[in-house]
Structure formats: C-alpha cells, structure tokens
Structure 1
Amino acid sequence: MTDGAILLAGCGNMGGAMLAGWLRGGLDPARFTVLDPALAAVPAGVTLRREPGGGPFATVVLGIKPQALDEAAPALAPLTAGATVISMLAGVRLARLAALFPDAAAHLRVMPNLAAEIGLAPIGLAGAEDPAVSALMAPLGTPEWVDEAQFDLVTALVGSGPAFVYRFLAALSDGATALGMEAEQARRLALATVQGAAALAAGSNDDPGDLARRVTSPGGTTAAGLAVLDADDALARLIAATLRAARDRGSELAG
C-alpha cells in the first residue's frame, strides 16, 4: 500500500482535498487514478477515467455519494479485488462494504476533513488497524483509529466539525461588526484570533479549559464574556446538541 496504485472512485471536495494533500506530501502522481465522469481535470501526472477500468489497484478510496453506492458497486467491485477498500461514505458500515466488495483484501472507513489538503486534518479510521494505512494517511494529518460504534460521532466531530467552527468564526466577526467595527477588519481580527488560539492549543500540554482560565482575570473583560457563554451551560448544551444531531443523522443514513 505504501507504493501501490490508488484509485479514487469519486473525487468531489473531500476526495480532491485528499488527493491534493497526498501530492503535496510528495506521493507520486502516477500512483493515482481518478474515476469521476463529472470531473473536468486532474493534477498533472494523475490519470482521469470516465468509466471503470484500469488497475490492478492496491487501494480503492470510495468518495461517491452514499446513496449512489448500490448502483455503482457492481462496476466497482472488479476493481477492488485484492485491494484495500477505504470508504469515506457517511453512514456506510463495514459489513455493507464487505457484502458489496467481497473480493477486497480489507474494508476500512475513513473520515478526514478539508484540512487534508494542507496536511492538517484529523483522520478517523475504523476497521482492522493497519500501520500501512496509517502511513498512507499521515501526509493528510493525524490518523486516529476508533471503534466503528463511535464512527457516526467521529463523522460529526471531524467531518462536520469544521462547519461548526466556521459558524462560530462568522458569529465572532459578525458580533464585532454589530457593535460598530468595520466588517472586513472584524473578519481579519476574528480569523487571526481563532487561528492563534488553535495553534497555541495544539502545541500546549494544557487542555482547552485550562487555557481559557489562563486568559481570564477575575472580574476582567474575559470573565464578563465567559459569564454569558457559560450561563446555564448554554454553550456546552448547544454544542452537545449540535454534535448529537449530526451523529444521529449519520445513523439514519446507515438505515
């Protein structure tokens, strides 16, 4: 797997981010074949196919829409023979992958996010833990193996989580604008604040709660703002409800 041919079956936003991350990480473009009838072009050196074919492939990454899987599976199945099938399809269980692609060597689930393009994605993985798969995912970010029972929650946190962060970022910026700051300046300052806070948290041994306490002086401005966020555990309850809704939708998609 560390040097075999890789097929991306479907290359939308997430598949494109993974491909960009792998190429950015130094993987040979000649290893990659993209199967996508709607894609206009691929990076130099990558093969683009409109119809199933080619191979043999060491790895097949499924990036089609989950609702299209049953229709696409018969044409894809011959391409998965002897390959490791890695599915990024929300709600599609390992047992279903095994039933649709019985001749594959292994079946795994993956959930990255768009930060894979710059090598900074958290990457949830489920299935039989394989160091070769971890190595393949390493250029995209930080691989984490989890039990499949937690995968809908991983999807909510890792896959949907960036959208929730972006909404908070927009709210931070819009709040400053509503209080009188020029909109573009508010956007720049909010973005720099979130970027710096995330970078500091990533490099710190302290948990986020401790970092928040370090920023907070008793009776100061930060304490006044946190009193609003923390009132009746409003923020914690909102985020828990948000993750629950996204997790439960993943379960619904599984049928």
Structure 2
Amino acid sequence: MSFPEGPIWLIGCGNMAGAMLRRWLACGLDPRQVTVVTRSGRGAPDGVRSLTTLPADEVPATLMLGFKPQQLDDVAPTLAHLRPALLLSILAGVETRALASRIPAGAVVRMMPNLPVAIGQGVTALFTNSADPDVRAAAEALATPLGIAPWVEDEDRFDAVTALAGCGPAFVFRFIDALAQAGVGLGISPDMAQRLALATVDGAGAMAMNAQVDAATLADRVASPGGSTREGLNVLDADNALLRMMADTLAASERRNREMAAAARR
C-alpha cells in the first residue's frame, strides 16, 4: 500500500504527531512531500520543511491536525481557506461535524493513535462519514504502517475506543511501574525489578496476542489451584477489584473526551 499522493501538511508536531510522521518516513514517505507548521518552527524530522506560518499560494492534498484539542478555535480560522481533499484529525474528543464546520474539506477522517505507533506496534482507530473507498484507502495507507487500524463505524463509540486504546498505553506504563515498585517492596533492587516488570509485560503481551484463547483464560491457566499465582489473582479478583478500577479509569477518560467534544460543538 502506497502513501497518499500530493502535499501533506501537519499543523502541530508534538509527541504523537511527531511519532506518526517519523514512522511514516521510516516506512518510505518522501520527506519532500511533507510540510510541518508549528509556532516554534521546531520538532520536524530532518529533511522535512518546517515553518512557523502557512506557505503562501500553496494548498495541501492532505491536512492533518496534530495540536491540542483546546487550540482548535484559535487555529481553525487560519486553515479554513485551504479546503484540502482530506482532513485528518488526531484531536481527542473533537467530532467530525465540529471539524467540518470549521475547516471545509473533501472528506474528514478522525484518527486516534496511541504511542506505540512510533515503533509500528500501535493502534490507530479510524472514523469517517465518507463512503468513498478512496478516502478510506488513503486513511488506511497512513494508518497501517503504524500498527493495526480498525474502523469504528459508530462515532458515538469513538470516545470509548480512545479511552481504551488511545489512553491505554499510559495505564499499562503505570501498571508496569506499580509491578516494579511492588517487587522493590519485596526486597528486589529497583533496577532488577524494573527489568523484570518490563520483560514480564512484554512477554505476556506477545503471548496473549498469539494465543487462541482470551486473556482471562490464559490467566487461569497460569494459576494452579492452591499455588502462588492463584493467591495473587485472588487479590485482584476479590470483589472485582481490578475490573472495577479499570472500568472507573476508562470511564474517566471517556468522560473527558465527551467534555472536549461538547466544548468543540459550541
């Protein structure tokens, strides 16, 4: 699958947008095809044109919004005249109708990547109202080098997907840290505990990805009756402690996404 043709402009190039762009370049995107526009003029990879203002007398074929959602109303008026064929947005909580009302485009696609896109092992959820197969193909051409790229067919579910996959790596990182700290509490050195926690999560994740059964079944298979793993699982399973904590965590993230969506509608 080849990348979309024509100029690609990124408005903003923070951690996520920058990770996406670097992955695209590593997968063969021509840097001469890309323009990055930021307030500072910094953050673009080598070989990519980096500007602090929009290029005069030029228009992009693909325009990607990579700034903070709260900046939409400040930035959008400066982009409304561009009318790109494809408008991509990684702005959490900002719906397609809010985007289309501010920046006219041939088609609008929401993309919600997570941080592992930087190494091609991420999740990039996609949504569009367009039924044009060329629009979907262009979005997939940019998303698939980043990892898996599922289409969310109901935009009302996009905030939930964002909470799980978009925010999820941060929750996993917190779990890794907690696992390591618990090991330190048992007398393991901090360096060793960190290495063990990282390797354990990495290996378990890889095993779960390739298993023919779900993660809950894998956990039960590891836990022999009366053994030490079962004793630990009993703590996590008591009163659905871990499940309730994760449900509350995702609900908080989804709620914040919906708050940002409501603000963008005003």
Give the TM-score normalised by structure 2: 0.91
Deviations 1:149-203 (A, max 9, x none): 0111111112211110011100000000011111110000010000001111112
Q: How well do the aligned residues superpose, as a CA RMSD in angstroms?
A: 1.3
Structure 1: which amino acid aligns with 2:227?
G
What's the CA shift for 1:235? Answer: 0.4
Deviations 1:23-72 (A, max 9, x none): 12121111111011224242222111110125431211101111211111
1:6 aligns with 2:8: yes
Cα 1:211–1:39 shift into 2, 3 Å = farther
- Aligned residue number for residue 35 of structure 2: 33
Structure 2: which amino acid aligns with 1:119?
G
- Aligned residue number for residue 86 of structure 1: 88
2:255 counterpart (239, 243, 248): 248
- Aligned residue number for residue 61 of structure 1: 64
Structure 1: which amino acid aligns with 2:117?
A
Question: 1:53-202 counterparts in 2 under 5 A?
Answer: 53=55, 55-79=58-82, 81-102=83-104, 104-127=105-128, 128=130, 130-146=136-152, 147-202=154-209
Identity of aligned residues (%): 49
In structure 1, stretches of 5+ residues that fail to align are none
What secondary structure, in the 3-state scheme, does the structure 2 residue paired with 1:78 have? coil
What's the CA shift for 1:222? Answer: 0.8
Structure 2: which amino acid aligns with 1:75?
T
In structure 2, stretches of 5+ residues that fail to align are none
- Checking the alignment, whether the CA contact within 8 Å between 2:9 and 2:37 is kept in structure 1 is yes
In the alignment, the residues of structure 2 paired with residue 39 and residue 216 of structure 1 have an alpha-carbon distance, to the nearest angstrom, of: 54
- Checking the alignment, whether the CA contact within 8 Å between 2:14 and 2:43 is kept in structure 1 is no
What secondary structure, in the 3-state scheme, does the structure 1 residue paired with 2:80 have? helix
Runs of 4+ in 1 over 4 A off after TM superposition: none
Give the TM-score normalised by structure 1: 0.95
